[in-house]
Amino acid sequence: MSLEPWDELRTALQVARAGTVSGAAQRLGVHHATVIRHIDGLEDRLGVKLFQRHAKGYALTEAGRMLTDGAAEAEARFDKLAARLDMLQSGIEGDLCVTTVPELCDIVLPVLSQLRADNPQLVPCLRVEERLARLEYGEAHLALRAGARPTEPDNVVQPLGALPVALFAAPAYLERRGMPRTEADLADHDVVTVEPGHARAPFDRWMEQHARHVGLHSNDRTTLLAAMRAGLGLGFAPASLQSDALVQVMPPRPDWSAELWLVTHVDLHRSPKVQAATTALKARFAALADESL
């Protein structure tokens, strides 16, 4: 007993989804007679009733549920596959989707801008998300992550080195509270940082240990930057940050640095488009590391 041909599984899945033969036929773009014949053929070959013929449509039996569950998983797998193939076949043109965390988008943005200038056919897209995008689903070509080395299977992760992180504050704040010179001076200052217990990055953990007075907690990094600009306290930011509203209070230190990772899907990381993006990003981050020396 075998459940070939696979096409009939697909129609069975659509019948299960639609609940009616006609609906499934419409979605599949075939005649409803064809759908009936597929289901009948499948049931005959399997010797099991997959659907209960109801006046209002087809209802799944236990066996039918099993089969369509399996078919649904296969369909999802094939969809992923199609998305990846779609990406693979394109040259340096069309969409290029990069995802990263909020902290890094200021650094990534110029790279994408340059990439677009060099390749007029390329339209870059920068998605900012905390979670790691499902690269195997084709949600993104590239992901830029900070922190622990990502371990997803089928993803190739390349080290981007450490991101220099420095301590910043608003000029108004420094005018009011003075410029801290040594680590000991920090005890007298307010800081803005992540919520207690949520420190993940090295600099956040450092802050958690050294901060005495907290001006503001937030789960959102952008909010923290805004709080720093508003003069609520000292805070960490990438050393490359260029802003009139914030000045560097202390230079980058190795134990503050966050490890950066460039992660792509195995099947995509050799495609020309992704290659172009990775080399550009690598160059940019190498330059950042040099600057901070």
**Residues near DNA (CB under 7 A):** 7, 20-23, 29-34, 36-38, 53, 55-58
Helices marked H in 57-186: 62-89, 105-118, 171-177
Cβ–Cβ < 8 Å for 157, 261: yes
Amino acid code (one letter) for 221: R
Beta carbon of residue 281, minimum distance to DNA (angstroms, whole number): 40
Strand partners, 259: 162
In degrees rounded to 5, what are phi and psi of residue 283? -60, -45
Beta carbon of residue 223, minimum distance to DNA (angstroms, whole number): 50
Cβ–Cβ < 8 Å for 76, 69: no
Strand partners, 193: 217
34 binds, among DNA, a copy of itself, none (CB under 5 to 8 A by kind): DNA
- CA-closest candidate to residue 57, choices 36, 43, 82: 36
Residues in the chain: 293
48 binds, among a copy of itself, DNA, none (CB under 5 to 8 A by kind): a copy of itself
Beta carbon of residue 282, minimum distance to DNA (angstroms, whole number): 39
Site for a copy of itself in 82-101 (CB under 8 A): 82, 84-86, 88-89
Beta carbon nearer to DNA, 22 or 275: 22
Beta carbon of residue 52, minimum distance to DNA (angstroms, whole number): 10
Beta carbon nearer to DNA, 57 or 150: 57
| Interacting residue with a copy of itself among 22, 23, 74, 245 (CB under 8 A) | 74
125 binds, among DNA, a copy of itself, none (CB under 5 to 8 A by kind): none
Beta carbon nearer to a copy of itself, 9 or 237: 9
89 binds, among a copy of itself, DNA, none (CB under 5 to 8 A by kind): a copy of itself
* CA separation for the pair 104, 144 (Å, rounded): 8
* CA separation for the pair 210, 212 (Å, rounded): 6
Beta carbon of residue 77, minimum distance to a copy of itself (angstroms, whole number): 6
In degrees rounded to 5, what are phi and psi of residue 144? -115, 115
* CA separation for the pair 87, 155 (Å, rounded): 15
Give the number of C-alpha atoms closer than 13 A to the C-alpha of residue 8, restricted to the C-beta side: 19
74 binds, among DNA, a copy of itself, none (CB under 5 to 8 A by kind): a copy of itself
Beta carbon nearer to a copy of itself, 85 or 283: 85
Site for a copy of itself in 43-72 (CB under 8 A): 46-48, 62-63, 66-67, 70
In degrees rounded to 5, what are phi and psi of residue 111? -65, -45
What sign results for the dihedral spanned by CA atoms 65, 66, 67, 68? Answer: positive
What does the binding site for a copy of itself look like in residue numbers (CB under 8 A)?
1-7, 9-10, 46-48, 62-63, 66-67, 70, 73-74, 77-78, 80-82, 84-86, 88-89, 267, 270
